[in-house]
Amino acid sequence: MRQYCLKRRVLFYETDAAGIVHFSCFFRYMEEAEHALWRAAGVCVHPPDGGIGWPRVKATCEYHRALRFEQEFDVTVRVTEVTRRTITFASAIRRGDEPIATGQVVVACVQQGPNGTMKSMDIPPDIAARLRGE
């Protein structure tokens, strides 16, 4: 399965009044790394004319340590499962050897209608293969 590692630095606006990264930013970090993985696989998560969407149907994050302004860290994301209609991504956020947070996101493949409706659909085989690393 495909994997990608994103190197990042904590920006000031991501911190709270105590100088610690706000919990919600961890989901952004995971998504940023996920989108980088899609690009590395040669696929766009939101092609302008694709008509396909990838809504989150499950998202979890377990926090182990705090991150602070200016600290550098890595976000490693990997595809752990590709089913007929969903993809599961697991993320690990680390500072060197120190675990900061771990998380998981499950996305579903949907067809987007012109009026904003979404209908579950099978993942196109070429996308599934690229994300598996085939």
Structural domain spans, the chain: 3-132
| Contacts of 42-49 spanning 24+ positions with Cβ under 8 A | 42/130, 43/127, 43/130, 43/131
- For 31-61, what is each residue's pLDDT tens digit? 999 999 999 999 999 888 778 999 999 999 9
| DSSP type of residue 67 | -
- For 124-133, what is each residue's pLDDT tens digit? 999 999 999 9
- 3-132 has which fold? Thiol Ester Dehydrase; Chain A (3.10.129)
Confidence class of residue 93 from pLDDT cuts 50, 70 and 90?
A: very high
Average pLDDT in the chain: 95
- pLDDT score for 58: 98
Tokens of 24: 């919600």
- pLDDT score for 49: 78
